[in-house]
């Protein structure tokens, strides 16, 4: 099995989409077509926190991810906060849970609550504490601010 890399970034830019793109660039996953997954961790995967992702393949390919992102408007009083948490079972299987918002404590609490609910849905033995990665983008008076956390599964794959 491959590696799941948890990378994160934050940025500001003139538009919401350009701020999101710049936050993805800070995490080094901006040159891929991100393909959303529903948050289940395969048993054989290794999870690494990497801050900035390494080269995961050619630009334009598809990259399977679990992601959280938040964007705030220029002049917002609140930051953009994105978070991903995960929990593994004894077998190595596990779950990701992604939350975004404008309050760091609220995002972390929601991740913990979601992971707890996800754990209760599964008949797996969990014997560790959840891991959490949060990214925060401070508001900017003139630009959109974006934060992202991405769990990238393996390497990119051709789409065509």
Confidence (pLDDT) at 1 = 55
Question: Alpha-carbon distance 112 to 99, whole Å?
Answer: 10
Residues of the chain with pLDDT under 50: none
The predicted-structure confidence for 64-76, as pLDDT tens digits, reads as follows 999 999 999 999 9
Confidence (pLDDT) at 65 = 98
Show me where the domains of the chain are located. 3-153
Q: Of 68, 55, 62, 57, which is closest to residue 97 (Cα–Cα)?
A: 68
Confidence (pLDDT) at 127 = 79
* Residue keyed to tokens 């978070």: 83
Please check whether the domain covering 3-153 is classified as CATH 3.40.630.10. no
Question: Alpha-carbon distance 62 to 96, whole Å?
Answer: 20
| Cross-strand pairs, 82 | 100, 135
Confidence (pLDDT) at 128 = 85
Q: Which residues contact 8 (CB under 8 A, 6 or more apart)?
A: 26, 27, 51, 82, 133, 134, 135, 147, 148, 149, 150
Q: What percent of the chain has a predicted confidence (pLDDT) above 70?
A: 99
């Amino acid at each position: 099995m491959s590696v799941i890399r948890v990378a994160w970034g934050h940025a500001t830019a003139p538009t919401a989409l350009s701020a999101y793109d710049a936050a993805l660039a800070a995490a080094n996953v901006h040159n891929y077509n991100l393909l959303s997954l529903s948050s289940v961790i395969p048993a054989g995967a290794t999870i690494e926190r990497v801050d900035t992702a390494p080269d995961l393949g050619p630009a334009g390919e598809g990259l399977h991810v679990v992601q959280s992102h938040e964007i705030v408007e220029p002049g917002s009083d609140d930051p953009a906060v994105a978070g991903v948490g995960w929990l593994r079972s004894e077998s190595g299987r596990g779950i990701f849970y992604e939350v975004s918002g404008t309050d760091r404590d609220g995002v972390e609490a929601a991740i913990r609550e979601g992971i707890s609910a996800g754990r209760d849905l599964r008949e797996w033995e969990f014997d560790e504490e959840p891991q959490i990665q949060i990214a925060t983008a401070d508001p900017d008076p003139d630009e959109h601010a974006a934060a992202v956390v991405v769990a990238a599964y393996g390497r990119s794959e051709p789409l065509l």
